[in-house]
Structure 1
């Protein structure tokens, strides 16, 4: 499912115009992206939780040309499904 499909389904279920649904979903996604960029947890009831976690060793990174050097580590977003979803969909099977 992509965003266009989701917009169509939500518009049909809620009987709202697709333009309103598109604006609402895009705003929600933008808010979640901002929260993840700030290393906050995003909890989605019925689905799970998105967390930002460190995936590598910190290394020296130059912030700007001729600027200061900072220690930074690579990060990734991790999805932790709720128990019901883990049982229904074997998420780890896709990575084997």
Structure 2
């Protein structure tokens, strides 16, 4: 597979691979069916792993968001802009504007 990926833009290589696949169509169909069977066999495990990955991603995103907002609050506090802290807490668009303004 790595070898194929190295040559994805090589027309000659693609042509040769196409000939190989066509010449061995039955074998590739059997392999495809086996892959489908394996996907079915491991479907529950794949689903569980996917759910775990999604949960981990959400947690990371939540932590990153909190950290970003904490940096914003600290920076605004440091600058004596307490009114902006309150306004940003109520207005997500203003919050985003401040993040850009302060390069956070």
TM above 0.5, one fold?
Answer: no
Identify the structure with bigger relative contact order (alpha carbons < 8 Å, sequence gap 6+): 1
Q: Could you state the TM-score of these two structures normalised by the residue count of structure 2?
A: 0.28
More strand, by proportion = 1
Larger Rg: 2
More helix, by proportion = 2
